[in-house]
Amino acid sequence: MFFQHLVNALSVGSVYALLAIGYNMVYGILEKLNFAHGDVYAVGCFVTYTLMLWQIHPVLAILAGMLVGFVLNLIVERFAYRPVRNAGRIVPTISAVGIAYIMRNFIQAIWGAETYPFSLGFELKSINIGGVVIGTLQLYILAIAIILMVLISMALKYTKWGQSIICISQSIPTAALMGIPVNKVIAMVYGIGAALGVIGGILFCSYYQFIFMGIGFSYGTMKAWMAAIWGGIGSLKGSIIGAMVLGLSEIFVSAYVSSAYKDVFVWLIFIVFILIRPKGMFPAEIAEKI
């Protein structure tokens, strides 16, 4: 039983990992609380869902959903985040919360508040190893998360865009002085973050086989945020491992401690952890300046 829980925990973790990578793109680089992350990509997921209902091939539908998420976040960044980028901490955060509500109600207005069954369409197999059942989808999800992590790390390291993103994460004014088109790059980061979020969201939906308007916030933003902090803000490797830890704590608490108080314990473990290690498991070195 223990190993089955372990496998389940790791598969839940890999779903969270996908969400966390997209979240950590924006959070790690711009240090802005992106409250709207989940709700923006949820729109993309619903577009994918609708396209698939229209018998469009899942891959095309996912690409379309990613495009929608990308464009939507570009628009949101332009009109709700960019004007308040330098206005302290509270103002951009509240603006993002506002966007989250707008997106969620937008979904509710178009698709309604019901929960719909969701499936990517291909058959879900599972492998049985000594009584432990491993779903193939879970393996795919983990593989996709790792591939994305590697791709993004490489892109950050070896492309001009990646380097300018890293410059911006160090200091926006300096980056601007070096001739980096700051606004464009930041918009791109938001767009790519949302597109990655759509992939994560769709795999999340296919793992749990449902889709509804709430996937964005409580299952998206919050989990991704927690995973990103577990791992260390701005660390892509950290966000995968953080997501695994989050998955582990959720599954094992509900299996061995209490399922009714699952969230309570997961939160408590999390709060204790960030009080002990505020910089996460793989911290980035940033010194406070006077």
Partner 1 sequence: MKIQKNYVNIIKVIFAVAVLLIPFYITNTYALKIICNVMLYSIIALSVNLIVGFCGQLDFGRAAFAGLGAYFSAVTFNRLGLPFIVCFLGGAIFAALIGCLLGILCRYTSFDYLTLITIGFSEICRKFFINWRPITNGAFGLSTKRPSFFGVTLASHQSMFYFSLILLILCYIVIRRITRSKVGRAFKAIRDDSIAASYAGIDVPNYKVLCFVIGSFFTGLAGAAMVHYTMFTAPTNYTLDESIIMLQMAILGGLGSLPGSIVGAAILIIAPEISRSFYNYRLLFMGIMMVVLMLFAPKGIMGDGGLKDQLVAFVKKNWSKRARKGEHAGV
Reported for 268-272, long-range contacts at CB under 8 A and 24+ positions apart, including other chains, are 270/226, 270/229, 270/230, 270/246
Dihedral sign computed on CA atoms, order 241, 9, 211, 96: negative
Most distant CA atoms of the chain, gap in Å: 60
Beta strands in the chain (DSSP E): 116-117, 126-129, 132-135, 210-211
Chosen residue from 56, 255, 274, 281 binding partner 1 by CB under 8 A: 274
Span between the terminal Cα atoms of the chain, in Å: 53
> Minimum distance from CB of 105 to partner 1 (Å)?
3
Give the contacts of 225 (CB within 8 A, at least 6 positions apart). 23, 27, 33
> Minimum distance from CB of 146 to partner 1 (Å)?
26
Round to whole Å and give the CA distance between 100 and 106. Answer: 10
Token pair of 2 as six digits: 């223990």
* 213: contact with partner 1 by CB under 8 A: no
Dihedral sign computed on CA atoms, order 269, 147, 8, 219: positive
Q: Decide whether 60 or 264 has the Cβ nearer to partner 1.
A: 264
* 216: contact with partner 1 by CB under 8 A: no
* 110: contact with partner 1 by CB under 8 A: no
Write the single-letter amino acid at 137: L
CA contacts within 13 A on the Cβ side of 50: 13
* 105: contact with partner 1 by CB under 8 A: yes
* 223: contact with partner 1 by CB under 8 A: no
The helix (H) or strand (E) run that includes residue 137 is helix 136-158
Q: Decide whether 11 or 235 has the Cβ nearer to partner 1.
A: 235
Interface mask (CB under 8 A) for partner 1, residues 225-244, using x and -? xx--x---------------
* 284: contact with partner 1 by CB under 8 A: no
- Contacts (CB under 8 A) with partner 1, residues 79-98: 79-80, 83-84, 87, 89-95, 97-98
* 20: contact with partner 1 by CB under 8 A: no
Q: Decide whether 160 or 289 has the Cβ nearer to partner 1.
A: 289
Label the pairing between strands 210-211 and 132-135: unpaired
Residues in the interface with partner 1 (CB under 8 A) total 40
> Minimum distance from CB of 33 to partner 1 (Å)?
6
Sole window of 117-125, 202-210, 236-244, 267-275 interacting with partner 1 (rule: CB under 8 A)? 267-275
Q: Which residues bind partner 1 (CB under 8 A)?
A: 31, 33, 79-80, 83-84, 87, 89-95, 97-102, 104-106, 109, 222, 225-226, 229, 260-261, 263-264, 267-268, 270-271, 274-275, 278, 290
